[in-house]
Amino acid sequence: MEDFTAIIRGLDWSVPARLLLSVLPALICITLHELAHGYVAWKLGDDTAKRAGRRTLNPIKHIDILGLVMLVAFGFGWAKPVPVNMRNFKNPKEGMAVTAAAGPMANLFVSIIFLFIYGLTLIPLGRAGYVGYCVSEMLITTAYLSLTLAVFNIIPIPPLDGSKVLYSVISDQAYRKLMYYERYGMIALFVLVLVTNRLPFDPLSYAAGWVFDKLIWVAQLGLDLARVFI
């Protein structure tokens, strides 16, 4: 038993720890994003996502492998789209726009919550050694990834949410033309992420970073509140 304990203590846990710090935040972000779509669609009268088992907190139901890899590796990615039947909405255009916007809005809310928790727990976690550091890093990584997911999804390229919101303000004919190119959307997104990450000026990262900087006050609020009680 002592030999086994010595072996465990001698293992390098930094690699699995880094992997966990990358993958777990990504799973949290995409799961809550897709859950928001499914829940709002259900509230508006469409139970397609519910019947497909997509109104769930089970991340496996929402994973798109390529999108997850892109999110972990580059900070921008996507999940498997939640099925929505807009004909079930009382107002199809409006219902589709609200359902689509629910994902990015949920990610923005998640980012704010995790920033607040990060600030609130920064002092006690700072005293907890390596474990505390890992938890703190996971909190701030989740906040940032959630925000990048929100920013990325408002781009009006099918099948991203921005294209569905755009549907509510353009003609049916124009939207049909837009959706015609949806089959090429995933290729376009893959190229977009790869190209922008190699540019001297990355517009996606800049946009996400700009919004993130504007929300740092939430973490400061949590930290100030923690100092009152510590």
Residues tagged active-site? 34
Distance in angstroms (rounded) separating the CA atoms of residues 101 and 152 = 12
Token representation of residue 178: 């837009």
Q: Rounded to a whole number, what is the distance in angstroms from the first to the last CA of the chain?
A: 40
The amino acid that residue 6 corresponds to is A
- Name which of 224, 201, 76, 203 is nearest 144 in CA terms: 76
CA angle (223 as vertex; 220, 229 as ends), nearest 5 = 150
Task: Count CB-CB contacts under 10 A for residue 52.
Answer: 14
Distance in angstroms (rounded) separating the CA atoms of residues 172 and 87 = 14
